[in-house]
């Protein structure tokens, strides 16, 4: 067993009272996987933004800083991992950057940075957040942008396997990040399939790239990016441990390890396996609930807002009901080489 402190994760992300995004996903997923999580909440909202109406408040940059001081004061800052997600505003992202620098100065900490900025062509943070993220990326060990964020950060328009591969290379080279995964990539040619591509650099800076096909499950599910990041944190750590890499900087595999044998590739296969099964269960419950709701009050009898809200609520991730699926990835789709 690893030393206790090495399995402690500082998770900096949002909190919602009802439903599943941010730390409400991360905390449960990591705990079920047996890791100790310290959730530092960057907001407390009533629900996620998928509802299009929410109430609550943000944690200020100064408050985030103070909470971190409190952790240090009692020696509770002995984290082996750091996972960051949604942080509202450039000031908060800057404070998180200071925290990472402070942690990394004192010990080896693995930072999984989910550069939450937007999705599907829409930015949902202020413009001034982008340069701050760009300045912090070189501190990260693994980044997991979605297609939109990867395009923002790399400047590469991702519309084919070739440009997807180019985006990975550019992200490695521009920001010196050892591990990159780009999630939820669609080329507009199919509504049944997405791509998830990843890569670990070698000591000479060349990238070992892989890609995995992901079946699209119809509907809109919030929190899937957070579930992906949390599962990836847990699975990558386990695969890196299996390869004896936890003691090495950034859990880097020796240069001789092939793309498809990378701990990152093996982790992503399992992550996507679990996610697929959680989403199938979520879809099944959603369909059952919607059938009941529509039998009582048909969609046509509702205003658009009410229709949207009830569908969004029925589509909340079924995480509590999916402990088995989180632990057991089932039959996984295998990664393929990406040139």
Q: Measure the CA–CA gap between 177 and 148, rounded to whole angstroms.
A: 18
**Per-residue binding letters, 237-276, with its own copies (x by CB under 8 A):** ----------------------------------------
Smallest separation, CB 39 to its own copies (Å): 7
Tell me which of 14, 26, 41, 207 binds its own copies, using CB under 8 A.
41
At its nearest, how many Å lie between its own copies and the CB of residue 7? 9
End-to-end CA, the chain: 37
CA of 211: how far to CAs of 183, 221, 279, in Å?
Answer: 10, 22, 20
By the rule CB under 8 A, 108 interacts with its own copies:
no
Q: Which of 86, 137, 142, 134 is nearest to 112 (CA)?
A: 142
Question: Measured between alpha carbons, how far is 91 from 117 in angstroms, rounded to an integer?
Answer: 14
- DSSP-derived letter for residue 247 is T
Beta-carbon contacts of residue 28 (< 8 Å; ≥ 6 apart): 319, 320
Instruction: Please report how close the Cβ of residue 63 comes to its own copies at its closest, in angstroms.
Output: 6
User: Quick one: 281 or 289, whose CB is closer to its own copies?
Assistant: 289
Binding mask 291-330 for its own copies (x = CB under 8 A): ------------------xx-xx-----xxx-x-------
| Closer residue to its own copies (CB): 38 or 283 | 38
38 binds its own copies (CB under 8 A): yes
Contact present, 115 and 153 (Cβ < 8 Å) = yes
> At 117, is the secondary structure helix, strand, or coil?
coil
**C-alpha span between 123 and 121 (Å, rounded):** 7
3-state secondary structure of 142: strand
Considering only 49, 67, 156, 174, the residue that binds its own copies (CB under 8 A) is: 67
Shortest spacing between CB 2 and its own copies, in angstroms: 13
- Please give the residue ranges that form the binding site for its own copies (CB under 8 A): 4, 10, 15, 17-19, 24, 27-28, 31-32, 34-41, 44-47, 51, 53-57, 59, 63, 66-71, 73-76, 289, 309-310, 312-313, 319-321, 323
């Amino acid at each position: 067993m690893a030393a206790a402190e090495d399995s402690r994760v500082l998770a900096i992300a949002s909190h919602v009272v009802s439903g599943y995004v941010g730390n409400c996903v991360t905390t449960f997923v990591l705990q079920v996987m047996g890791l100790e999580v310290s959730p530092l909440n960057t907001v407390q909202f009533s629900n996620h933004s998928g509802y299009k109406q929410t109430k609550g408040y943000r944690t200020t940059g100064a408050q985030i800083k103070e909470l971190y001081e409190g952790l240090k004061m009692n020696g509770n800052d002995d984290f082996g991992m750091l996972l960051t997600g949604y942080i509202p505003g450039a000031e908060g992202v800057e404070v998180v950057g200071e925290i990472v620098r402070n942690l990394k100065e004192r010990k080896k900490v693995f930072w999984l940075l989910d550069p939450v900025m937007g999705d599907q062509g829409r930015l949902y943070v202020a413009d001034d957040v982008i340069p701050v993220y760009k300045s912090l990326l070189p501190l990260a060990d693994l980044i997991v942008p979605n297609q939109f964020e990867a395009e923002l950060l790399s400047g590469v328009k991702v519309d084919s396997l070739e440009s997807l591969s180019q985006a990975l290379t550019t992200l490695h080279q521009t920001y010196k990040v050892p591990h990159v995964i780009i999630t939820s990539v669609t080329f507009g040619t199919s509504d049944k399939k997405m791509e998830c591509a990843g890569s670990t650099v070698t000591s000479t800076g060349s990238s070992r790239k892989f890609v995995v096909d992901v079946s699209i499950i119809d509907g809109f599910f919030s929190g899937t990016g957070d579930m992906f990041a949390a599962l990836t944190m847990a699975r990558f750590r386990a695969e890196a441990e299996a390869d004896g890499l936890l003691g090495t900087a950034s859990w880097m595999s020796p240069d001789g390890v092939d793309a498809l044998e990378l701990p990152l590739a093996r982790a992503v296969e399992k992550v996507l396996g679990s996610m697929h099964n959680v989403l199938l269960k979520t879809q099944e419950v959603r369909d059952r609930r919607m059938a009941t709701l529509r039998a009582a009050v048909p969609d046509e009898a509702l205003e658009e807002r009410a229709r949207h809200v009830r569908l969004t609520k029925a589509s909340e991730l079924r995480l509590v009901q999916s402990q088995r699926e989180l632990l057991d990835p089932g039959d996984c789709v295998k990664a393929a080489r990406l040139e």
